[in-house]
């Protein structure tokens, strides 16, 4: 059994309760470790440590903070293989994906904000008879809460800008995938991050997460997770006037116009549907195809999907690994049943995959393609967050925009067309925070990241993140 610990005030510590939760390896469906079942007492200690370390950390020069953070990034790089294996085992994702995407991105997050802070500047406004200058200064203890789908990637996406801006942090990774956050705490100790600057408390959302959100000494909360959880967090943090960043669910449209580069659209759509077993908030789960190429695209897409290999995460030839948990697998399967009840036809997948030997109890699902559903049925409106996509034909641009915009979500969208004018025109009418044209998941960390409607509040990335993690003060001086 691998037992992990909290990271509080620079030390790896047992939870106050002395109790531990089971941690599952989804590839075999068995418990392989234990994680602290922390509670409000551990959060209290973590906030205390973060408060105490704030004056010193926030008054360090940007260069000093940057140096430690770059050391952490270097250590992540040096431990790439170990971290990738841990991420894959904890989450079920293919090892090659963790090695190519998750872990390198975690190191990039640290490096990006460690260098970004050196170039962060604020404005001044000269007016008749006076000059204004604006300052952006660290706030205090930031609460950072992240989900299970891209564990270290999203955890560091919050922690790095918070620390770079001079805040101290109390962070909670998902209890479903806590392992790489624990390994990060060891790397922070090795890098010489001062005690109390980053504290990581493991445990359940309603206990640990809630205790962070409602703590009066945590004035800002950065949360990524489900829309229902975000709503609850907003209800707690709102009346306390906390600064709040919410990155929530999605139900993203992938729009294929007849004048697209067919092969590119096809190849990338397979990826944008099933990467990470469809468990990326940016996956395009509703594919809209212009009717004149509907049959051709559908047949070619289904053929490719049937050739995807569902296999053990460590197997380098696997395209899809296991989904994250047994309950998540059941949830996805229940949506496939719902799709059938709603009149959908399963063109590929639609069931659990049982692998041989030690993997026979793992949580594997076949990549699933469904057609014949109304755009406004539940399957097409609710987030499934698994390897399931629907295909829907359209005739007119206005029609596809209406269908694409019809969900309560507005995170991302993808458009495939060779017409420049059509690409810009449709991009401007989609109610989504992130739009890709003729590509998917191409990320520049300087760009604003976040969603409209129930996909979130605020934006992360680049200056947006540094602005979120600082307090703005304007000083007006009479000349
Ligand atoms: P979740 O909302 O169940 O959990 C997210 C985190 O919140 C976990 O650490 C959890 O322990 C914690 N939590 C749960 N209850 C809490 C409470 N009452 N107070 C404080 N914290 C609490 O989400 P999940 O199932 O881990 O992740 C999947 C969801 O995340 C999907 O909806 C997906 O779309 C979304 N997501 C969004 C983005 C984005 O950038 N918009 C990125 C990745 C995932």
pLDDT tens profile 219-246: 999 999 999 999 999 999 999 999 999 9
**Does the structure show a pLDDT above 90 at 182?**
yes
> What integer pLDDT is reported at residue 30 of this predicted model?
98
User: What CATH code would you report for 253-444?
Assistant: 3.40.309.10
Q: Is residue 158 within 6 Å of ligand 1 at its C-beta?
A: no
Q: Is residue 385 within 6 Å of ligand 1 at its C-beta?
A: yes
Ligand 1 pocket test target in 23, 226, 411 with most atoms within 8 Å of CB = 226
Task: For the sheet with 11-13, list strands across it.
Answer: 11-13, 6-8, 198-200, 168-172, 141-145, 220-224, 243-247, 456-457
> What integer pLDDT is reported at residue 475 of this predicted model?
98
> What integer pLDDT is reported at residue 157 of this predicted model?
98
> Residues 108-141: pLDDT tens digits?
999 999 999 999 999 999 999 999 999 999 999 9
CA–CA dist 90, 27 (Å, integer): 9
Pairing type for strands 412-416 and 434-437 reads parallel
CA–CA dist 416, 188 (Å, integer): 43
Percent of the chain at pLDDT exceeding 90: 100
Nearest CA to ligand 1 atom 34: 249
Alpha-carbon distance values, 185 to 112, 190, 466 (Å): 19, 9, 23
Question: What average pLDDT does the segment 273-279 reach?
Answer: 98
Q: Is residue 248 within 6 Å of ligand 1 at its C-beta?
A: yes
Q: Phi, psi (5° rounding) for residue 286?
A: -120, 110
Ligand 1 atom nearest to CA at 383 = 32
Compute the mean pLDDT over every residue in the chain, rounded to the nearest whole number: 98
> What integer pLDDT is reported at residue 117 of this predicted model?
98
**Does the structure show a pLDDT above 90 at 209?**
yes
Question: What average pLDDT does the segment 44-69 reach?
Answer: 98
Predicted structure pTM score: 0.98
Contact assessment for residue 457 and residue 234, using Cβ atoms and an 8 Å cutoff:
yes
Question: What average pLDDT does the segment 36-52 reach?
Answer: 99
> What integer pLDDT is reported at residue 370 of this predicted model?
99
> What integer pLDDT is reported at residue 1 of this predicted model?
86
Question: What average pLDDT does the segment 431-436 reach?
Answer: 98
Question: What average pLDDT does the segment 98-105 reach?
Answer: 98
Domain with CATH 3.40.605.10 in the chain: 2-248+455-478
Domain with CATH 3.40.309.10 in the chain: 253-444
User: What CATH code would you report for 2-248+455-478?
Assistant: 3.40.605.10
Largest CA distance in the chain: 79
């Amino acid at each position: 059994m691998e037992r992990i610990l909290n990271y509080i005030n620079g030390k790896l510590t047992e939870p106050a309760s002395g109790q531990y939760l089971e941690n599952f390896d989804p590839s075999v469906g068995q418990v392989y470790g234990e994680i602290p079942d922390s509670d409000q007492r551990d959060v209290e200690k973590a906030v205390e440590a973060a408060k105490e370390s704030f004056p010193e950390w926030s008054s360090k020069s940007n260069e000093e903070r940057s140096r430690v953070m770059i050391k952490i990034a270097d250590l992540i790089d040096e431990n790439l293989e170990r971290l990738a294996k841990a991420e894959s085992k904890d989450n079920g994702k293919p090892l090659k994906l963790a090695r190519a995407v998750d872990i390198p991105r975690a190191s990039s997050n640290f490096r990006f904000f460690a260098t970004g802070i050196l170039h962060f500047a604020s404005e001044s406004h000269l007016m008749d008879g006076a000059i204004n200058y604006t300052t952006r200064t660290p706030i205090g203890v930031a609460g950072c809460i992240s989900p299970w789908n891209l564990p270290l990637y999203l955890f560091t996406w919050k922690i790095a800008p918070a620390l770079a801006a001079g805040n101290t942090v109390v962070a909670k990774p998902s209890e479903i995938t806590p392992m790489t956050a624990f390994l990060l705490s060891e790397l922070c100790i090795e890098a010489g991050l001062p005690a109390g600057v980053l504290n990581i408390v493991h445990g359940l959302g309603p206990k640990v997460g809630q205790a962070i959100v409602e703590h009066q000494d945590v004035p800002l909360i950065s949360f990524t997770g489900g829309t229902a959880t975000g709503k609850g967090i907003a209800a707690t943090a709102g009346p306390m006037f906390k600064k709040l960043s919410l990155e929530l669910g999605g139900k993203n449209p992938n729009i294929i116009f007849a004048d697209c580069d067919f092969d590119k659209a096809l190849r990338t759509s397979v990826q944008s549907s099933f990467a990470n077993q469809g468990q990326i908030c940016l996956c395009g789960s509703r594919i809209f195809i212009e009717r004149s190429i509907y049959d051709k695209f559908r047949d070619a897409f289904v053929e490719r999907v049937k050739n995807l290999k569902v296999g053990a995460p460590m197997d380098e030839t696997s395209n899809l690994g296991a989904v994250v948990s047994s309950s998540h697998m059941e949830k996805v399967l229940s949506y496939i049943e719902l799709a059938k009840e709603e009149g959908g036809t399963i063109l590929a997948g639609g069931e659990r995959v049982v692998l041989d030997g030690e993997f026979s109890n793992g949580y594997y699902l076949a990549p699933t393609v469904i057609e014949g559903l109304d755009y406004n049925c539940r399957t097409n409106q609710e987030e499934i967050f698994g390897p399931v996509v629907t295909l829907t034909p359209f005739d007119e641009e206005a029609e596809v925009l209406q269908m694409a915009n019809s969900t309560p979500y507005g995170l991302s969208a993808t458009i495939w067309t060779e017409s420049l004018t059509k690409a810009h025109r449709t991009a401007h009418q989609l109610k989504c925070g992130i739009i890709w044209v003729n590509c998917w998941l191409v990320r520049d960390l300087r760009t604003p990241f976040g969603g409209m409607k129930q996909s979130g509040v605020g934006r992360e990335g680049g200056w947006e993140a540094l602005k979120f993690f600082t307090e703005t003060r304007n000083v007006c001086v009479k000349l």
